[in-house]
Amino acid sequence: MPDYRIHVHTGDVDGAGTDANVCITVFGSGGSSDEIQLDSGRDDFERAGVATFTHTLKDLADLYRVRIRHDNSGSWPGWFLDRVTVRDEEAEREWTFPCAKWLATDEDDGRIDRYLDLA
């Protein structure tokens, strides 16, 4: 089973970071992952930052979509997500999923759950 390295890029706008719990599901032509909580124990999703996580998953083959969400918890749950990049370390392939939107109940369209398609 391959290791997938997930890079989550928080945007560089005022109030972009979040303290909420963030989860992702990865979809590929070979199936989908279970929902994965992205947490390193640090402040992962800070303004203009890149949080990186590695997870061993079944071979998902060609990726085409991710679902990313947060649980709206914490003092500052709103989050401006720039993009997500996923790399299959075994196959040395990488996919980028642009967002450039808020995941916040009080910003943009009020959604905290987004499906992102391949760039």
Q: Are 4 and 57 in contact (CB under 8 A)?
A: yes
Domain limits at 29? 3-117
Distance CA 40, CA 51 (A): 9
Give the closest residue to 36 by CA, choosing from 81, 67, 82.
67
What residues contact residue 44 under an 8 Å CB cut-off, 6+ apart? Answer: 8, 22, 38, 51
Question: How many domains does the chain fold into?
Answer: 1
pLDDT in tens, the chain (119 residues): 999 999 999 999 999 999 999 999 999 999 999 999 999 878 899 999 999 999 999 999 999 999 999 999 999 999 999 999 999 999 999 999 999 999 999 999 999 999 999 98
Tell me, yes or no, if the pTM score tops 0.85.
Answer: yes
Q: Which helix (DSSP H) or strand (DSSP E) does residue 57 occupy?
A: none
Query: Which CATH number covers residue 50?
Result: 2.60.60.20
